Structure 1
Amino acid sequence: MKPKISERLKWQRVKNQPPVVSGDLSGKTVCVLGANTGIGFETCKHFANMNAGRIILACRSEARGQEAVQRLEQETGYAKGELWIIDLSDFRSVRQFADRWENDGGRLDIIVANAAMEPGKHVLTKDGWDSTVQVNHLSTSFVILLLLPRILKTARDHGSLSRIVLVSSELLYDITVEKDARDKPGNIIRTLASAEYLKDTRRMRELYSVTKLMNLFFARALNAHLGPSAPVIVNAVAPGFCVSELRRDLSGGFKYMVKVFEYMFALPTECGSRRLVWAAVGLPNAPDSLRGQYINCCEVWEPSDFVIGADGRKCQQDIWIETLAILDKLDPRISEVADTYLAA
């Protein structure tokens, strides 16, 4: 059910924001993708205040990442932040990031997949994919699946529950995957990412929202294939409309319009980070209630009618299958993960 505009605007007021949840992360390792700025950095600050054993700031830029590690210590006193480089627009970089985890051998209790981009135009990566689709969906799914064995091993070795948080958006209430793309199982993602499909200006502007919908689909599908007894909680969270560098690459009149909306309605970045933290550590006495859920405003919300309807459920499964097929061609570990940990 789509929330009313009045309800959505209610949660865009600072006075209505719940306080950040507290917790003790002593000895635990947290990884935040897209950690050097904005919501990702504010999320790291909250984890630092919970005394995390390690915080991995996964960033694309060495210079900006090092600056973030230094700022984290300056603003919180936390000196155990580590910069790990990952460029989600480069599949090779994702593989190298996963290789580093295998070589590191350490635990991984929480991963927050926050990194995303919204260029507002069709730009190809060096891998030949539309950059928005590759960064926001394919590479995000890729890194989570490659790290899944480490996440599960951590939970089993320590008798704990790990958590995987994908950052989605409440914009998913406003869009669907269009029927002409859904009618191409095995090629839905390729269709959505194609230059021909994105010649339509409206589709290009909606692509970011579609990838956020795909993040929710991935979270729901991964949760379903892991099964209810898996020692890991997977969910997707909407941070709300916040001040962010996400939209820095937009151009023209659309960028101006977005800036006006940001000035009028955007929450401070830190408010959005509270929702990510809640998804990662909230409800410690009832964590199973968060399995496969969509989280907004530090509570579970029902997703859109499309997501929970028959067309959405089929689209979710088709995109899941296609995602695994695409990623398996990039790294044989994907099929190993699927065969070992994920029910058919």
Structure 2
Amino acid sequence: MDGKLVIVTGANSGMGFATTVELAKMGAKVIMACRSEERGKQALEQARAACGGAEIELMLCDLGHLASIRSFAQAFKERYGRLDVLVNNAGVVSLKRATTKDGFESMLGVNHLGHFLLTHELLDLLKAAPQGRIVNVSSGAHKAGRIYFNDPFLTKGYNVAKGYAQSKLANILFTRELAKRLAGTNVTVNSVHPGAVGTNIGVDRTTGFGKTVLRMVRPFFRTPLKGADTAIYLASSEAGGASTGLYYIDRKPVQVSKRGADPELAAKFWTWSEQQVAQ
């Protein structure tokens, strides 16, 4: 990874932080894309301390705000002429229905549409790298997912499991359709299931709601580093540059759900996603 330029979204905690530290240790220059300046600065200090002065930078990007994503991409383009690896790691779980600044249901808005736009904005820089890579963090929850085209933002009958599964199926469909569209280029795109990981996802930062549950179940979960292992592998190994359009668990490609493998659904959902971020 010496000299490689990497962006990791949601890099201030959990798997994003672990991914940042490990890739920086391998010699990559890592940009931590974070929403909160305060939490981002704390994480940046910790990451640099953990890596012994490796090249790590913080740039602010709110994946729940299309304008913030565009300004992040513009600022990045003004400083760099290429991007070797984009790790779309950030994710939210909303126990109660919430919306992004653009009015999207938060899980579909952040977990999918934010990354969809960010990837589009950075594609030319990924193509400018000798071998560009995109790694999308999905989940086995995609198997329970469906795309609710009649009410994608779940305005009626909201349910956290339903919304999360939809957003993770979205990651799979995006990966597969993007791989098809990037055929013949030097850019690969794959998705990963990290396993059940003990991070703060699902904990309300304002009220702390969800912390007690997390404390109880955390001993049964993987560590963030173990959860990030496959994303790190795809970002840094030969295999990550040789395969595209695949879904990985524990460094091995596995089959996605029937819906996840549906090319017509992927194409239809791509068109819908384009319409959403064009606003």
Question: Is the 8 Å Cα contact of residues 132 and 207 (structure 1) preserved in structure 2?
Answer: yes
1:266 maps to what in 2? 221
1:217 maps to what in 2? 173
2:153 maps to what in 1? 193
Deviations 1:203-251 (A, max 9, x none): x322112101101110100000111x2101101011110110112139x
Cα–Cα, structure 1 residues 285 and 89, in superposed 2: closer, same or farther, change >3 Å? closer
Unpaired segments of 5 or more residues in structure 1? 1-24, 155-159, 182-187, 331-344
Larger relative contact order (Cα-Cα within 8 Å, sequence gap ≥ 6): 1
1:91 maps to what in 2? 66
1:315 has 2:261 as partner:
no
**Mapping for residues 207-286 of structure 1, pairs under 5 Å:** 207-227=163-183, 229-249=184-204, 255=210, 259=214, 262-263=217-218, 265-282=220-237, 284=238
Distance 1:84 1:296 in 2: 29
Distance 1:108 1:263 in 2: 35
1:130 has 2:83 as partner:
no
1:64 maps to what in 2? 39
- Which of 161, 165, 169 does residue 139 from structure 2 map onto? 169
Deviations 1:97-150 (A, max 9, x none): 111122113321001000110012211222111111111111110000110011
The amino acid across from 2:23 in the alignment is F
**Mapping for residues 81-160 of structure 1, pairs under 5 Å:** 81-154=56-129, 160=130
Cα–Cα, structure 1 residues 261 and 166, in superposed 2: closer, same or farther, change >3 Å? farther
- TM-score between both structures, scaled by the size of structure 1: 0.75
- Tell me the SS of whatever aligns to 1:166: strand
- Tell me the SS of whatever aligns to 2:136: strand
Deviations 1:242-281 (A, max 9, x none): 110112139xxx9589648733531111101111101212
Question: Is the 8 Å Cα contact of residues 89 and 131 (structure 1) preserved in structure 2?
Answer: yes
1:297 has 2:273 as partner:
no
The amino acid across from 2:152 in the alignment is L
Question: Is the 8 Å Cα contact of residues 242 and 262 (structure 1) preserved in structure 2?
Answer: no
Distance 1:260 1:83 in 2: 29
Deviations 1:122-181 (A, max 9, x none): 112221111111111111100001100111012xxxxx21100010001122x1316xx3
Cα–Cα, structure 1 residues 44 and 325, in superposed 2: closer, same or farther, change >3 Å? same
- Tell me the SS of whatever aligns to 1:192: coil
**1:72 deviation in Å?**
1.1
Question: Is the 8 Å Cα contact of residues 152 and 162 (structure 1) preserved in structure 2?
Answer: yes
Distance 2:16 2:240 in 1: 25
Question: Is the 8 Å Cα contact of residues 28 and 107 (structure 1) preserved in structure 2?
Answer: no
Cα–Cα, structure 1 residues 43 and 324, in superposed 2: closer, same or farther, change >3 Å? same
**1:39 deviation in Å?**
0.4
- Percent of counterpart pairs with the same letter? 30
- TM-score between both structures, scaled by the size of structure 2: 0.92
Deviations 1:256-315 (A, max 9, x none): 896487335311111011111012123x16833x2100011111111123322xxx3322
**Mapping for residues 36-51 of structure 1, pairs under 5 Å:** 36-51=12-27
1:32 has 2:13 as partner:
no
Distance 1:69 1:275 in 2: 22
Q: Work out which of the two has the higher radius of gyration on C-alpha atoms and give 1 or 2.
A: 1
- Tell me the SS of whatever aligns to 2:259: helix
Deviations 1:17-68 (A, max 9, x none): xxxxxxxx1111011000011100001111011011x210000111111111
The amino acid across from 2:187 in the alignment is V
